[in-house]
Amino acid sequence: MVRVSERGLSSTASPKCAAASDPDQLKSAREDIKKLLDTSFCHPLLVRLGWHDAGTYNKNIQEWPQRGGANGSLRFEIELKHGANAGLVNALKLLQPIKEKYSGVTYADLFQLASATAVEEAGGPKIPMKYGRVDVTGPEQCPEEGRLPDAGPPSPADHLRNVFYRMGLNDKEIVALSGAHTLGRSRPERSGWGKPETKYTKDGPGAPGGQSWTVKWLKFDNSYFKDIKESRDEDLLVLPTDAVIFEDPSFKVFAEKYAEDQEAFFKDYAEAHAKLSNLGAKFEPPEGIVINDGPSEPAPEKFVAAKYSSGKD
């Protein structure tokens, strides 16, 4: 059994001087992640893991790792216990056998590899990723709590801008990244938001329950924007930070565009995801490692409607 302690997952120890990840091991780990996704339906969880490791970045702090970002710090218990990270210990447990198998891959790279692969395998865009992120070595290097966005702040637009501008992201990137909520569910026992279950989540896939933002919540497309705009289905979740992208004048320009044009959404999302995944990271070699050596093309559709609750029974 995998246990998390102050020093991170107990079955491995981080080297004192982290090196660049091994390219061949990165490629093999990606294939194992695809197999994991096929059997566990953990796409949303892995996307969130990568985001939350990178999303602590503060552009106003120059020093690494004090600046936060994609550095593998989320493997430590002190950071996993941050309120915004509820449930992410499950993502670490799923990935730990892969980390043990490929010791030449850093946690920071593994988290971002898993996140990008999950988007692509759910039918999303090919993301122009690079690897070679250096891991922090101890829990004392974790960022303080409070750097990640809340779901229901008093002023949602101001809150989103405060958080994402601190990372160096702009309004277009905020809205594009919000579109990743096309994947996944909110569970009230973790976040305090959403219904215990709906007609779309009561039968899984995976563990049943929670409230999804979209009907087919394991398919990456532009349904999130369409569904918020229509606001016709009480079984679909709309958080204050979701609703505001169609209320704020600047955000609304991009949200309307993505609701009408999935290709435009995919293009902007892929660029924003790649940018987020690099935030705060220290790369060895400095230029990073590229393993996406095949043609850039959309991932094939992985899920069929039969795997979802129909919502009609």
For 31-38, the CB contacts below 8 A with 24+ separation are 32/98, 32/101, 32/102, 33/95, 33/98, 33/113, 33/114, 33/117, 33/118, 34/117, 34/121, 36/94, 36/95, 36/98, 37/117, 37/118, 37/121, 37/302, 38/302
Cα distances (Å, whole numbers) of residue 139 to 47, 201, 247: 22, 36, 40
Asked whether the CA dihedral 136, 138, 140, 144 is positive or negative, the reply is positive
Give catalytic residue positions.
Answer: 52
Separation CA 239–CA 260 (nearest Å): 21
DSSP three-state, residue 134: coil
pLDDT by residue for the chain (313 residues), tens digit each?
344 444 455 444 444 444 479 999 999 999 999 999 999 999 999 999 999 999 999 999 999 999 999 999 999 999 999 999 999 999 999 999 999 999 999 999 999 999 999 999 999 999 999 999 999 999 999 999 999 998 778 899 999 999 999 999 999 999 999 999 999 999 887 778 889 999 999 988 888 999 999 999 999 999 999 999 988 899 999 999 999 999 999 999 999 999 999 999 999 999 999 999 999 999 999 999 999 655 333 344 444 433 434 444 4
- What is the DSSP annotation of 226-276? HHHHH---TTS---HHHHGGGTSHHHHHHHHHHHH-HHHHHHHHHHHHHHH
Residues 43 and 122: beta-carbon distance below 8 Å: yes
Question: How far out from the chain centre does Cα 123 lie?
Answer: 15
